[in-house]
Amino acid sequence: MPNLDASSPFVRFLVGAYAIGSVITFVAFGVDKWRAARKGRRVPERTLHLLTFAFGFPGALLGMLAFRHKTRKPAFIVVTALLVAVHVALAGFALAS
């Protein structure tokens, strides 16, 4: 099990990955909302979910709230919630080990 001390390289990697992934995902939600308002080419939901899974769930949640985007699509919300649950479960497992 990797060292979970705040100064460890593993923890710094995770913090960086979540920060970068969240910014990218937040921007993707904003771009999709902007394109939706202008009837432009949309960002596929599959891409938004992939970004959410790839360390971007904080940005996805913030993007959904900030842009009021994808908040009326129950299926999208359920998948996003499951992806967040996977990350929380993995974090809990890592901390418990």
The string of pLDDT tens digits covering residues 55-94 is: 999 999 999 999 999 999 999 999 999 999 999 998 888 7
Is 1 among the domain residues? no
Is 28 among the domain residues? yes
Is 91 among the domain residues? yes
64 near 71, Cβ under 8 Å? yes
Is 2 among the domain residues? no
Is 3 among the domain residues? no
Host domain of residue 60? 9-96
pLDDT band, very low/low/confident/very high, at 38 (cuts 50, 70, 90): very high
Residue % of the chain over a pLDDT of 70? 95
Domain count, the chain: 1
71 phi and psi angles, rounded to 5 deg: -90, -10
pLDDT of residue 47: 97
